[in-house]
Amino acid sequence: MTAFQYREGVLHAEAVSLSALAQTVGTPFYCYASGEIEGAYSAMERALSGLPATICYALKANGNLAVVRTLAKLGAGADVVSEGEMRIALAAGVPAAKIVFAGVGKTAEEMAAGLQADILQFNVESVPELEALSQVAESLGRRAPVALRVNPDVDAMTHAKISTGQAENKFGIDLGHIQDAVKLALDLPGISLEGLAVHIGSQLTDLAPYRAAFGKLTALYRDLKGQGVPLRRLDFGGGLGISYDGETPPDLAAYAALVRECAAGLPAELVFEPGRFLVGNAGVLVTRVLYVKQGTARRFVIVDAAMNDLIRPSMYDAFHAFKPVAAPAAGAGEMPVDIVGPICETADTFARQRGLPPVAAGDLLAICSSGAYGAVMSSTYNGRRLVPEVLVRGGDHAIVRARPSYAAMLAETPLPDWLDPARPAARGVA
Catalytic positions, written as ranges: 344
DSSP letter for 265, please: T
Task: Report which of 191, 192, 147 is spatially closest to residue 173, judged by C-alpha positions.
Answer: 147
Please enumerate in sequence order all residues whose Cβ is within 8 A of that of 168, keeping only pairs 6 or more positions apart, or say none.
none
Tell me how far apart the 2 most distant CA atoms of the chain are, in Å.
Answer: 76
Beta-bridge partners for 428:
none
DSSP letter for 281, please: G
Distance CA 251, CA 50 (A): 18
Interior angle at CA 38, CA 75 and CA 121, nearest 5: 35
Distance CA 44, CA 54 (A): 11
Task: Report which of 54, 57, 43, 121 is spatially closest to residue 92, judged by C-alpha positions.
Answer: 57
Consecutive H or E run containing 30: strand 29-33
Task: Determine how β-strand 99-101 pairs with β-strand 121-124.
Answer: parallel
